[in-house]
Structure formats: C-alpha cells, structure tokens
Structure 1
C-alpha cells in the first residue's frame, strides 16, 4: 500500500479519525474511512482485546482485509481483521467450504482490526496527519466494476464434485454426532440419575421385539380408518343436533313404554315395589 500526497483535511464524526483513501492514482476524489479505538464493555473479550482493537466504519466494497491491513500497517503488525456488513452485527459462523460460504457483503461495511500488541493503538493515536492511500495499484490490482461482476459470477458457478464432497463430509459428521448421542442415551438408559429417577423412553422398560415395516403399515392404515370414521361422524352441526333429538325421542318412547308396563302390572295386582 503506497502512500500518495497528503489528502485534504476532513471533519470526522465525534471520537473518530478520518483516513483518506483512493481507489487508484487517477482518481481525484478521496474516500474517508473513520476509525477509533474499540472500547470493550466487558473485562475479558478474546475477539476484541482491550488496547489492541480498532473499530473502522464507512468501508467501501473494494477495500479488502489485506487493503485495510496495509492502510494501518505503519502502526504495527495487524493480527486479524473482521469485516461486518453493518455496525453491531455479530460474526456468524458459516460452514467453511467452496459451496456453502457464498454470501457476498454489499454496501459500506465496518471492521474490527486487532494489532499484535498495544503499541499499534499508541501509534494510531499519535498520528496527526494522514496521507492518502491508494488501494489499487499495478502490482496489487483490485477488481471493480465489470471485472468484479465477472469474478463474482464465476465464483457463483458451483463445482459439482466439490459440492458433493462437502455434502458427504457434512453428513458424515452429522451421522457421527447422532451415533454418539444415541450411545450416550443407551448408556444412561435404565440407570438412576443423581436424584434416583430412572428415565423411561417411549419403548418402555421391556421393548420386546422391534416392529417390522409391514406391522407399522397395518397400524398406520388402521389409525387412518379410525380418523376417517371420526371425521365423517357428525361432520355437520345439524347432524349433531338431529342425533341429539333422536336420542331424546328414544328416551321418551322408552319412558312411556315403561309407564304402560307399570300400569298394566298394577291392574293385574302383580306390581310389588317392596
């Protein structure tokens, strides 16, 4: 990253320092990065260590991690640079690989830059006048415009063999996790915990013979028929009301028949309730 002639002074937001950059030597207009020392809220933060981290905003798309490292290289050795798509966004863990990590960050970005030691922050504070840095040079050309679009398009074309290899690796790791989880569950099955409770699975204490596929199909078909009968029974509200009326009518009819039987037995002197 080669410094060019001093850029014009520019007012930065409160607490930030303005660093002028240019895409190329031919460009006359400067772009400004704004940086400040990152104030860590917690006492211990391994990702953003205190007195060694810079927080940078207003980063254009053509500035890469390597470019940022070169801009601030005079301050000291840069240990790591983390680019984010917006302020305060967390660093999400993606599946590493050619096919699964294709999300491109668009628009202006922010970054956390960590120096190897605290002297990098001290040199950053002592810097009063910043010179303009050129991002794209002949020996380190940065693709932009149509060249960048072509590069992104070529990266979007998946390699079928590489994709299949990553899928196989992911599924193998998943199967290993499932197998380990099942082994741990089998070891704990039937064993009392700290409070003396025994975990009973859906198989019960005596699982017996495992169900065959044919048996599972018959049980599923039987359950399906039961559900169909329940759904057809009293499907409409008026059917439910009619059924209640018919039931009440049958009860009244039976009550009248019982009254007639009792009256006949009384007439024949055969009715003896006691």
Structure 2
C-alpha cells in the first residue's frame, strides 16, 4: 500500500536534508533541493559567517535568489542569498564596475549560499520534515520561463547607447587619471636610488627611433638572408640535397618557359626580306 500524503518522505544524500519544491500548483512532479550547514576550516569569508550559513545544491536554472528567499521565509529569517555555478569563494567582493561588461550570471543548475539572520534558525532547518512540496511560482510572485524568459533576456540585451557612452567616458576619465598619476610617480622616482642603491632607468628622454621604410626593411631582410646562407652547410643533409635538386629543376623549367616566350615573340616580329 502506497504511503499517504502525510507520511510522504523525500530521500537526500548523506549530511543533507531534502526540501521538495514544485514550479506551479497542480503539478504532481517536484524537484528536491538539498541543504546542509555550511562549514569550512578557515573562517576567512565574512560574507558567509559560521553557524548562520546554509549550503544548497541542485538548484534548478529557473530558481532565482528571490525564489530561495521565499522558500526559506516560512522557516527562518533570510539575510542574503548568493547563487554560483559551483562551490567556491564568494564573488560578492568583486563589485560590478559595468552594467554591460564582465557580467557573471550563472546558467544551468547552481549552488547557493543562504545566510540566515539568527544562528538558532540553523537547528530549525536541520530538523525540518517537509511533506508537501513548496510552491516557487504563483500569481503574486511569478517566475518567468520559456518564451517569457527569452523575451525578458532579449530586452535586457538591448544596449542604451547614451548610457553606454557615458560609462565609457567615465571609465576613460578614471583610466587617464591613473596613467597620469603613474607617470608623475615615475618622474619623482627617476634618478633616486632605492634602499639597495639601484637607480631606475626609464626610456623617457631618449631620442625616439625613426620608423623604418619599406626599402630599409627589404635591405635588412636580404642581409639576414645572406648571413643565414653563409652559416648553413649546403647539401649536408639528404633532405637539403633533395630540396636543392627540386629548386634547380624549377629554375630550369622557368628559364625554358622564358626562352619559349622569347622565341615566339621573335617569330611574331620576323619579316620577309627578299633583298
């Protein structure tokens, strides 16, 4: 006899608890998210404090940070949620400097780090026994998928040229300022010995080299070719002997074709002179 809805349990890997979730109401199928307490040996990440952070795996692609916040809201107070493609260091320290470039959006199945407000909520999550799948998308909180998601991504991909130009101008302004500061610092340090007595020598103040012309480049190439020819041992290897034979035959064929053209040209210009 099959277990009733009240007696239904969901299997989970060792050390995890299963939280069943369904996309919309009225569906028989569900998806399980597996949760455990996030513990690391070195407590160096301030964004994921010990005793207040949950590690969630098997997060479906359509599940957003807002979805996870709503999923845990009935059981605990959520402080922050971070989604990543795979487990690893937090990416929150990297502040996004651009709205159009260097955007790291995880795709496919993800992992999540959920920071709770109260440490006591960790024990409450560990003792959870959810028998009915949690609803992720509803009328008041829809999650866009399919064609609606594609339309939203396409509209987000359209670039506002004015804001993009403003962002580029701001970036170049900061870049020019940084370059000017580096040049000013290099001028101050030029000629001043360091702690070990070494003096940094820069290219500033040197006479700029003249650009090479095409004729000069050809001369240099010919000179390098003659130098290499003098150093090489001709016909030392078997393949060199075969190559020289091929080149000699190619030169003979070329000369033969040129001679044929000359003879044909002479015959075309020949005139009959009886006297």
TM-score, normalization by structure 2: 0.72
- Matches of 2:167 and 2:7, distance apart in 1: 48
Q: How many matched pairs?
A: 229
Secondary structure of residue in 1 paired with 2:184: helix
- Matches of 1:149 and 1:7, distance apart in 2: 39
- Matches of 1:66 and 1:117, distance apart in 2: 19
Q: Equivalent residue for 1:189? A: 190
Deviates more, 1:110-119 or 1:227-236: 227-236
Q: Check if 1:38 corresponds to 2:31.
A: no
What is the 5 A alignment of 1:69-88? 69-88=69-88
- Compared CA separation, residues 21 and 239, structure 1 to 2 (3 A): closer
What is the 5 A alignment of 1:221-260? 221=213, 224=217, 227-234=220-227, 236=229
- Matches of 1:89 and 1:40, distance apart in 2: 11
Gaps of 5+ in 2: 236-275
Q: Equivalent residue for 1:66? A: 66
Give the superposition deviation at 1:229.
3.6
State the 4+ residue runs in structure 1 displaced beyond 6 angstroms. Answer: 237-240
Q: Equivalent residue for 1:255? A: none
Give the superposition deviation at 1:78.
1.8
Deviations 1:35-60 (A, max 9, x none): 10011120332132111111000011
Question: Alignment RMSD, CA only?
Answer: 2.9
- Compared CA separation, residues 219 and 105, structure 1 to 2 (3 A): closer
Q: Equivalent residue for 2:272? A: none
- Compared CA separation, residues 219 and 125, structure 1 to 2 (3 A): same
Is 2:52–2:119's contact at 8 Å kept on the other side of the alignment?
Answer: yes
- Compared CA separation, residues 29 and 6, structure 1 to 2 (3 A): farther
- Compared CA separation, residues 37 and 29, structure 1 to 2 (3 A): same
Q: Equivalent residue for 2:154? A: 153
Q: Equivalent residue for 2:260? A: none
TM-score, normalization by structure 1: 0.72
Deviates more, 1:155-164 or 1:19-28: 155-164
Q: Check if 1:220 corresponds to 2:212.
A: yes
Deviations 1:130-156 (A, max 9, x none): 542111111111111111111112222
- Matches of 1:107 and 1:55, distance apart in 2: 17
- Compared CA separation, residues 223 and 8, structure 1 to 2 (3 A): farther
Deviates more, 1:225-234 or 1:161-170: 225-234
What is the 5 A alignment of 1:7-22? 8-22=8-22
What is the 5 A alignment of 1:35-184? 35-88=35-88, 91=91, 93=94, 95-129=96-130, 131-184=132-185
Gaps of 5+ in 1: 243-274
